[in-house]
C-alpha cells in the first residue's frame, strides 16, 4: 500500500485493528486463570476476535505487562461463524472473557443472555467516548463492554487504474457515475465498484451520509424508516448503475471479491476505515496501487460522511473478573493503548 493510503486511514484503522491485553479474566471453566492469584503470579485473559492486528497487539501488551498474559484466538468474522462459536462456548460454560462483537450484533447477544453487565465497573469510562458510540454498548442502565471502533467511510480506489484511463478522482456521486461509465467503456471487464448482495451494512452507511435515519425514537416508541426518501435516493442511484451493467455484484468478502480488487477488475471500494487492512491482507499483489479519497458527496463541496459498522470489546457471561476485563477494554482504546 502507498504511504498516502496508510496516513489517511491509519489513525482510525488503528482502533479497528489493534487489540489488547490486560489482566485477569479467563475462560469460564478455569478459576486458576480467571482471578488474581494469591502468589502474584501471572494471570491469563482469553480474547476472541478476527480483526487484523489483534495478535500483534496482544504480543506487545504481554511484553509490557509481565503480571498478565493475554491469549488471543482468531475466529471467523462474526457473520461467517465467529458469533456462533461464541454463543456455543458461553452456553457450554467455557467461553472467553472478552470478544469482538459488532454493534449490530450486540442486541442478539443481549437477548440470548450471553453478555455480562459491567456498569458498576465503568467509573468515568463513558466520558472518553461520544454519546452515540457509548450508547452502542449499553441498554438502559446496563453496560456490556467498551466501544472499540466506529466506521467512518471513505473511498479506496486503484490509483493506477484511474491514472491509466485518465479518470479524475470523483468528488461527487455524479462524477462517480461518470467515472463508472468511462471506466467500463475503456475496459468492458472493469467496473467502478462491487454492489454486493447480502447484509445491508454498506447501504446503511451510504444512506447515513444522505441523511437517512433507519431507526429512531419518537416519544416512547420506535420509528422505523428504512424505505424513506433519503434511502430511496441512494437505492435508485445504485440500482441505475446496476441496471446499466456498470457495477459487479459478487458476495462481499469472498474469494472472488478480493480477487477482483487485486486484479483491478473493481476499481473502488467505498467503505469504512477498517477496509484498509482488509485490502492489505487479502489483496497483497495490489500493494502500492491504492490510494484513499473522501467519500463522494451528493452536493458539490459537501462534507457529509456515512458510518459503516463498528465493534465493541464485550464482556461475555461467565467472566470471573469483569473489572479487569473492563480495564483491558479501556486500555485498548485509551492513550496508553496500541492505537
DSSP structure string for 257-275:
HHHHHHHTSB-EEEEETTH
- For residue 43, the enclosing domain spans 14-151+310-333
Q: What is the C-alpha to C-alpha distance for residues 334 and 123, in angstroms, rounded to an integer?
A: 14
Contact 109, 78 (CB under 8 A): no
Residue 211, pLDDT score:
96
Q: Confirm whether 122 is domain-assigned.
A: yes
If asked whether residues 219 and 75 sit together in one domain, one would say no
> Pairing mode, if any, of strands 215-218 and 307-315?
unpaired
Model confidence, pTM = 0.75
Q: Confirm whether 159 is domain-assigned.
A: yes
Helix or strand holding residue 156 (H, E): strand 145-158
* Residue spans of the chain under pLDDT 70: 1-43, 198-199, 339
What average pLDDT does the structure give for the chain? Answer: 84
Residue 54, pLDDT score:
84
Contact 35, 43 (CB under 8 A): yes
Q: What is the C-alpha to C-alpha distance for residues 31 and 34, in angstroms, rounded to an integer?
A: 5
If asked whether residues 241 and 318 sit together in one domain, one would say no
Residue 7, pLDDT score:
26
Query: How many Cβ atoms are within 10 Å of 281's Cβ, its own excluded?
Result: 12
- What residues contact 254, with CB distance under 8 A and at least 6 apart? none
If asked whether residues 137 and 55 sit together in one domain, one would say yes
Contact 172, 298 (CB under 8 A): yes
Classify burial at 318, counting beta carbons within 10 Å of its beta carbon; exposed 0-12, middle 13-18, buried 19 or more: buried
Q: Which residues pair with 101 in a beta bridge?
A: 312
Residue 253, pLDDT score:
86
If asked whether residues 250 and 298 sit together in one domain, one would say yes
Q: Confirm whether 145 is domain-assigned.
A: yes
| Nearest Cα to Cα of residue 234 among 264, 268, 211, 263 | 211
Encode pLDDT of 247-300 as tens digits.
999 998 889 999 999 999 999 999 998 899 889 989 999 999 999 999 999 999
- What residues contact 286, with CB distance under 8 A and at least 6 apart? 158, 261, 262, 263, 264, 279
Q: What is the CATH number of the domain that holds 281?
A: 3.40.190.10
Residue 181, pLDDT score:
98
Q: Confirm whether 3 is domain-assigned.
A: no
Contact 311, 149 (CB under 8 A): yes
Q: Confirm whether 29 is domain-assigned.
A: yes
If asked whether residues 50 and 168 sit together in one domain, one would say no
If asked whether residues 29 and 118 sit together in one domain, one would say yes
Number of structural domains found in the chain: 2
Q: Is 182 helix (H, G, I), strand (E, B) or coil?
A: helix
- What residues contact 131, with CB distance under 8 A and at least 6 apart? none
Q: Confirm whether 9 is domain-assigned.
A: no
Q: Confirm whether 321 is domain-assigned.
A: yes
If asked whether residues 112 and 257 sit together in one domain, one would say no
If asked whether residues 315 and 202 sit together in one domain, one would say no
Query: How many Cβ atoms are within 10 Å of 171's Cβ, its own excluded?
Result: 17
Backbone angles phi, psi at 44, to 5 degrees: -120, 140
Residue 22, pLDDT score:
25
Assign residue 21 a region (left: φ > 0; alpha: ψ between -120 and 50; beta: otherwise): left
If asked whether residues 265 and 319 sit together in one domain, one would say no
Residue 42, pLDDT score:
54
DSSP H stretches of helix in the chain:
3-17, 54-64, 82-92, 106-111, 131-134, 159-164, 173-186, 201-209, 229-243, 255-263, 275-282, 322-333
If asked whether residues 85 and 54 sit together in one domain, one would say yes
If asked whether residues 216 and 142 sit together in one domain, one would say no
Q: Confirm whether 8 is domain-assigned.
A: no
If asked whether residues 55 and 45 sit together in one domain, one would say yes
| Nearest Cα to Cα of residue 154 among 7, 48, 28 | 7
Amino acid at each position: 500500500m502507498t504511504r498516502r493510503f496508510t496516513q489517511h486511514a491509519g489513525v482510525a484503522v488503528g482502533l479497528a485493528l489493534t487489540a489488547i491485553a490486560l489482566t485477569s479474566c479467563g475462560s469460564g471453566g478455569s478459576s486458576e486463570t480467571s482471578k488474581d492469584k494469591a502468589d502474584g503470579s501471572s494471570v491469563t485473559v482469553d480474547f476472541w476476535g478476527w480483526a487484523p492486528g489483534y495478535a500483534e497487539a496482544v504480543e506487545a501488551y504481554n511484553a509490557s505487562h509481565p503480571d498478565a498474559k493475554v491469549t488471543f484466538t482468531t475466529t471467523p468474522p462474526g457473520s461467517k461463524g465467529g458469533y456462533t462459536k461464541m454463543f456455543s462456548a458461553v452456553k457450554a460454560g467455557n467461553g472467553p472473557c472478552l470478544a469482538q462483537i459488532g454493534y449490530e450484533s450486540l442486541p442478539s447477544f443481549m437477548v440470548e443472555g450471553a453478555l455480562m453487565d459491567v456498569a458498576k465497573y465503568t467509573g468515568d469510562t463513558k466520558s472518553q467516548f461520544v454519546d452515540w458510540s457509548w450508547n452502542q454498548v449499553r441498554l438502559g442502565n446496563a453496560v456490556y463492554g467498551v466501544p472499540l471502533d466506529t466506521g467512518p467511510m471513505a473511498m479506496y480506489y486503484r490509483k493506477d487504474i484511474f491514472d491509466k484511463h485518465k479518470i479524475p478522482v470523483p468528488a461527487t456521486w455524479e462524477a462517480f457515475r461518470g467515472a463508472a461509465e468511462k471506466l467500463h467503456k475503456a475496459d468492458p471487464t472493469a467496473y467502478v465498484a462491487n454492489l454486493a448482495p447480502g447484509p445491508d451494512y454498506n447501504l446503511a452507511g451510504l444512506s447515513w451520509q444522505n441523511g437517512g435515519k433507519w431507526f429512531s425514537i419518537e416519544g416512547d416508541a420506535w420509528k422505523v424508516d428504512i424505505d424513506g426518501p433519503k434511502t430511496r435516493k441512494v437505492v435508485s442511484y445504485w440500482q441505475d448503475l446496476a441496471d446499466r451493467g456498470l457495477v459487479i455484484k459478487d458476495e462481499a468478502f469472498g474469494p472472488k471479491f478480493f480477487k477482483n480488487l487485486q486484479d483491478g477488475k473493481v476499481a473502488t471500494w467505498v467503505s469504512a476505515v477498517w477496509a484498509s487492512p482488509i485490502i492489505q491482507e487479502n489483496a497483497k499483489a495490489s500493494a502500492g496501487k491504492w490510494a484513499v479519497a473522501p467519500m463522494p458527496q451528493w452536493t458539490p463541496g459537501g462534507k457529509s460522511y456515512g458510518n459503516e459498522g463498528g465493534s465493541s470489546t464485550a464482556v461475555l457471561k461467565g467472566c470471573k473478573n469483569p473489572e479487569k476485563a473492563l480495564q483491558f477494554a479501556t486500555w485498548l482504546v485509551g492513550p496508553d493503548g496500541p492505537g
